[in-house]
Amino acid sequence: MPKVCKICGKGPFFGHSVSHSHKASKKKWKPNLQHVKAKTDSGNRQIWVCTRCLRSGKVTKVTKGPVTK
């Protein structure tokens, strides 16, 4: 299964890399996905999220509790 953003569904994009001589070769562009621990409907889970969703605040990350001595 390919890595896909769990929030927006962004995944790999396929196309051609075209050289100066116009020779096309296959290319795959991958989204910038981060494996983060986030709050979901089914509890705290580690999910793949693109940086656009992280930056826009669509994901609430799980933080560690307060440190006590």
Which tens digit of pLDDT belongs to each residue from 18-48?
Answer: 999 999 999 999 999 999 999 989 999 999 9
Q: Encode pLDDT of 2-26 as tens digits.
A: 799 999 999 999 999 999 999 999 9
Instruction: Map out the domains of the chain as residue ranges.
Output: 13-56
Cα–Cα distance, 28 to 32 (Å, whole number): 13
Whole-model pTM: value is: 0.76
Q: Kindly give, in sequence order, each residue whose CB lies less than 8 Å from that of residue 8, ignoring residues fewer than 6 positions away.
A: 50, 52, 53, 58
Taking residues 45-56, report their average pLDDT.
95
69 pLDDT higher than 70: no
